[in-house]
Amino acid sequence: MIILLEMKIYVKGKWLEEDEITSLYKTVSPPQRRILETLYEIGQPSTISAISSKTGIKRQYVSVLMKKLVEGNYVKKYGRRNALYAITDQGYQAIAKGEKVTA
């Protein structure tokens, strides 16, 4: 028997669905934040290899983190092979706000 439970939470006078809750509290992890800050410092689109060497994070892990940053619209990807990554307005806002970080 499978029981599906729907999570809701009461916030500021209304019930929020699970997807509404997660969108309100969208955050970046500490390594993702380091990548965003590095892209900001570089000031131009960069490759995963360049970002890896600047941050000291392994290239494979940078690749995984970049995929999540692209999905979250913090970073834009240009091209396929040897792709370039650039920080978006949302990425700039995440740095400026000092968004809470989660693992």
Within 10 angstroms of residue 101's Cβ, the number of other Cβ atoms is 14
40 located within any domain: yes
> What predicted TM-score, i.e. pTM, was given to this entire model?
0.69
Q: Which range marks the domain in which residue 74 is found?
A: 30-97
Look at the chain and report how many structural domains it folds into.
1
Nearest to 74 by CA among 96, 49, 47: 96
Q: What's the mean pLDDT in 56-80?
A: 93
**Residues 6 or more apart in contact with residue 83 via CB below 8 angstroms:** 47, 48, 77
pLDDT tens for residues 36-53? 999 999 999 999 999 999
Q: What's the mean pLDDT in 51-80?
A: 93
Q: At 23, is the pLDDT very low, low, confident or very high (cuts 50, 70, 90)?
A: low
Looking at residue 45, its pLDDT comes to: 94
Residue 87, beta-bridge partner list? 75
CA distance 35 to 94: 12
Token representation of residue 91: 């990425």
46 located within any domain: yes
